[in-house]
Structure 1
């Protein structure tokens, strides 16, 4: 009873303090209403918050037509005052909340209730312009800058974007049409982008129809992406699902992704810009993810990997009707490295390629790249793979005078499609490594070595030890 009274008193003090600080905008704290109307809402998060308020308390209108851009911006600005006092949660209640981009703050949770939908505005005037990313040197769709992401944050600590499977809808068809018509002068927006930040959680949401990449943490660390359903038409341009970019300690798990591009793509900058910036993606865990992407990869490493990619651990993934499984994409001019990659437990059904590595993915930001900047690809491990209805077992294409080395493939069973069966199942050039217990038999450059069991680390990365707290509204 004493503990209950203590918690209740803290709750009352939090309500009073929020009303006092935000009274000038006639805000009512949402906690009491959530308890009385919906009962207590519990959810998992890296950190809980002491204060909370509803978007409606700031004048939000969830009719799908009224712009709430200024409402989101004002609400987050006001709630940022609680960063040093237990943090704050902004609750997005059921409804359709049309908005342009808004920036998050530290020690903050954006919580989407069940049946809440954030709708991205298709009015370009609502989208601020940002400079190009320093590790890329130019925009991807156009040489100039880029539009802000819908949900954006930079130089933040302790940020949670979560909910009861609420939806964020990027309404991407407007942007896809402009892309196809070559009408873009800036790069399309991402749905969620967090930069130069630490302690990030993005979880338990449905994300649909992003203008381009869905989730893009960049130059950040200690990131957990969990329980997302990501959906885009399989012919939509560049709608990658989750792209950790020059990030350290990232955990991606329990997601379902249907994409027009790579379901997950690890990156670290583009050619001379990525080499100069020099920040790798490292200590990345990907597990229990299902991918559908007929024209792209379940997991791509690159092609923008000039800052390096290392210590990637992929396990228990499923791909259905997807072009390739874990694909390495690089080229002359990239520099950088992809090394110490560990993959096990793939369940693949209807694939063009099971194994695909290419050293000729030659898209460049400009003509100033260094043709002597060769990538290092080594220490690539695959084990325990089952694949059915496959067109090609492998296409492994290193670089002349720069072979991909240290490839290990063990315990793999591939059933080739009877309708699409190709005579040459393993196409290998400029690669070196070993295999064991692989069907169909691999190419001569990957000879059989009995008793080989390809490596997978026994240690756990620090991000794997992070446990969620049970928080409540």
Structure 2
């Protein structure tokens, strides 16, 4: 029998993985379960329910208590919740409920009240934001604490940015603090943020709302105003052992969750939401991070669902801020809408390694697995895997693009030329992509497009058990990747230019060209 695994555990919530055969985000059939407390003698209790998803969150647990979990087809699991050193109610510190979004004075009073509440939490304790609508300027969390968003709680940012705090580009030791698209840059602080903390948990059934649509954030996506770039929804900087459990985060001013320089991060059972036309509202962007797990999370956003990054080399070769990302696992997630399901880059100059997306559902995303880089980035992308994933209504299932036309010079000839260029520190490398047991339904443009550099071809791509079930009859010919000189495509298979592909079904590899003008040489 299969043993359930504990993905994350706090004093009041447990995230379990129940990987029945065929389960992706959803179980194929609802699974009956039983949870029993083993402490308290006659006060012990039993709870029964149905698990409709592969990742199940058990809420409302009691700290320091032993439990037994049972589900048909699984071994019995016993576990113990950790203790809580003390419970602090944020309402006891003078929070004002239901103030107007543009009430800057009220939002400042609430931010000050929350700061006092955070300070009052004992080491290993919990701060509860109770049911209600609470509007506050950005709050900074500390380590060795839990922020618990109660069911019915909405912690939201104000619509005004007058007096909004700013994170500088670097801290006192010269390390990157504020950032924008992979470079040090002053940015407005996220509504909830933490810098250089350990052992932090953010959890609950409540909501973090960035109020992106309520202010002017979405009207200046690439600008600097007031000396800073737009804030994230949740920004975690240089922190370790962070757990995110169960909450909904929506309407971020820019990237929704941005872990930057973090280690040992666990996220399970989240809902990450933004309108489809909101600019750069990526769902979850781990940058220069190690050991990250994203599981059982639902995405519906205005840009990439998950974008794995590692900083960007500056125009003058600046690289002291760069650090690799290594070890990101994405399991049993649902990507309902977004530019890409699992994306690598384009900021990848520090190197991105050992990334896996497994047992997920991607529905209506523009692309499924997407790698994007360009000359000038440098860095290596290696060991990327997609396994047991359903792509339904995805326009281009797989893509690796080394001519991505980002930045002001993205359309310059030296970036877009298909002629061989000299190798150097700015030459990006892609080595190692595995795709296995992927099902494509309602395909629009192409099953795969792999466009490498002639001086640095994409290497070691292995595709097996790829099935194209159906095509989108309403689709129209469209260039499938964001590079110049790429022809429109419709219902095509796997196209290759300057890439080394091994496929167990040679019939999936097309002889058609990607570029409008075929390259001078061929490499496959």
Q: TM-score, normalised by structure 2?
A: 0.71
Where 1:416 maps in the other structure, the secondary structure is coil
> Which of 452, 456, 481 lines up with 1:398 in the alignment?
452
- 1:280 and 2:324 are equivalent in the alignment: yes
Residue 375 of structure 2 is aligned to residue 332 of structure 1: yes
SS in 1 for 2:162: helix
Residue aligning to 1:253: 295
Shift of 1:102: 0.9
2: distance between equivalents of 1:246 and 1:132?
16
Q: In structure 1, what is the Cα distance between the partners aligned to 2:499 and 2:383?
A: 16
- Which structure is higher in helix share? 1
Aligned to 1:172: 212
Distance of 2:60 and 2:390 partners within structure 1: 36
Matched, 1:99 2:99: no
Find the aligned partners of 1:136 and 1:363 in 2 and give their Cα distance: 23
More RCO (CA 8 Å, sep 6+): 1
Q: Are 1:148 and 2:189 matched, yes or no?
A: yes
Q: Kindly indicate whether the alpha-carbon contact (under 8 Å) linking 1:46 and 1:201 is maintained by their aligned counterparts in 2.
A: no
Is the alpha carbon distance of 1:227 and 1:429 closer, same or farther for their aligned partners in structure 2, counting shifts above 3 Å? same
In 2, the alpha carbon distance for the partners of 1:239 and 1:309 equals: 21
Residue 73 (1) aligns with residue 141 (2): no
Question: Cα offset for 1:137?
Answer: 9.2
CA contact (8 A) 1:63 1:95 kept: yes
Partner of 2:180: 139
Q: Partner residue of 1:385?
A: 438
User: Structure 1 residues 352 and 43, CA, compared in 2 at 3 Å: closer, same or farther?
Assistant: farther
Residue 64 of structure 2 is aligned to residue 60 of structure 1: no
Partner-residue secondary structure (3-state), 2:443: strand
The residue that corresponds to 1:108 in the other structure is 145
Counterpart position of 1:443:
510
1:407 matched to 2:461 = yes
CA offsets 1:187-246 (integer angstroms, 9 cap, x no match): 111111111111001110011101011111111100001111111111100001111111
Partner in structure 1 of residue 354 of structure 2: 311
Q: Within 5 A, what are the aligned runs for 1:36-47? A: 41-42=60-61
Written as runs of structure 1 = structure 2, the 5 A alignment for 1:169-248 is 169-173=209-213, 174-179=215-220, 184=225, 185-248=227-290
Change (3 A) 1:136 1:268: farther
Distance in 1 between the 2:159 and 2:398 partners?
39
Please give the alpha-carbon distance, in whole angstroms, between the structure 1 residues aligned to 2:312 and 2:199: 28
Q: Secondary structure at the match of 1:271?
A: coil
**1:117 corresponding residue in structure 2:** 154
Whole-angstrom distance in 2 between the partners of 1:431 and 1:401: 11
Alpha-carbon separation, structure 2, partners of 1:303 and 1:190: 18
1-structure distance, mates of 2:182, 2:440: 35
Secondary structure in 2 matching 1:327: strand
Count of aligned pairs between the two proteins: 398
Aligned-partner Cα distance in 2 for 1:425–1:386: 13
How big is the shift at 1:136? 9.8
Structure 2: 5+ residue stretches without partners: 1-58, 64-79, 101-105, 416-422, 477-489, 513-524
Q: State the shift of 1:142 in Å.
A: 11
**CA separation in 2, counterparts of 1:204 and 1:434?**
40
Cα 1:423/1:188, change in 2 over 3 Å? closer
User: Residue 320 of structure 2 aligns to a residue in which SS?
Assistant: helix
* CA shift for structure 1 position 130: 1.4
Q: Deviations over 1:386-406 (max 9, x none)?
A: 011111212211112110100
Distance 2:299 2:216 in 1: 20
1:51 aligns with 2:93: no
Match in the other structure for 2:30:
none
